Amino acid sequence: MTLPGAASVIDYTDDLTSVREDMLRGFFVGWPKRPSARQHLALLRGSYRSVVAVDEAAQRVVGFVNMLSDGVLTAFIPWLEILPGYQGRGIGTELMRRILAGTERFYSIDLVCDEALLPYYARFAMISASSALVRHPGALEGCPPADP
Ligand SMILES: CC(C)(COP(=O)(O)OP(=O)(O)OC[C@H]1O[C@@H](n2cnc3c(N)ncnc32)[C@H](O)[C@@H]1OP(=O)(O)O)[C@@H](O)C(=O)NCCC(=O)NCCS
């Protein structure tokens, strides 16, 4: 059995000019309400830095990561996701490598994740710490319902 995208070549880029909304299908897996493709593209373009993994043959973004930053000392990585059919191929690792490249000048680079993912982020020298959060589910009202 061939996995989706198993034979495809993946390109990585931080240039979002050629990324279109219709290339951003299938993300936010498991969310009861998920951001629209328009919001998705806007958050990528509005970030300090975003990197996408593109399956050129399928004309599809298959993974993305973004970084918010003050550009001086601090940065935050709010999103990292690889489409299910493309996971376990090193795409997340390559996106993390690229988003972190050249950020040694920042004092802090933070992200929030489930405990199960701490060993994954430890690969990038990220250590565990406590955090404080607020979430507003209403911000996603009006977004498309999740995939069945
Ligand atoms: C977590 C995620 C980004 C990893 O990307 P990926 O391209 O599949 O990962 P890579 O191929 O670079 O690395 C694979 C390794 O990650 C580990 N890994 C993947 N998902 C994991 C999870 N949820 N918990 C713990 N480890 C995980 C795998 O066990 C594998 O380990 P191995 O190399 O020892 O076999 C991806 O699985 C994903 O998008 N998951 C859903 C969204 C998500 O959880 N995003 C992170 C939000 S903080």
Centre of ligand 1 to C-alpha 73, Å, is 28
Going along the chain from its start, the domains and CATH numbers come out as 2-67+80-104 (3.40.630.30)
pLDDT digit of tens for each residue in the chain (148 aa)?
A: 445 556 689 999 999 999 999 999 999 999 989 999 999 999 999 999 999 999 999 999 999 999 999 999 999 999 999 999 999 999 999 999 999 999 999 999 999 999 999 999 999 999 999 999 999 989 888 776 665 4
Centre of ligand 1 to C-alpha 92, Å, is 7
Instruction: Label residues 26-57 b or e (16+ Cβ within 10 Å = b).
Output: ebbeeeebbbbbebbbebbeebebbbbbbbee
> Is any ligand 1 atom within 6 A of the Cβ of residue 90?
yes
Centre of ligand 1 to C-alpha 17, Å, is 27
Q: What pLDDT is recorded for position 2? A: 43
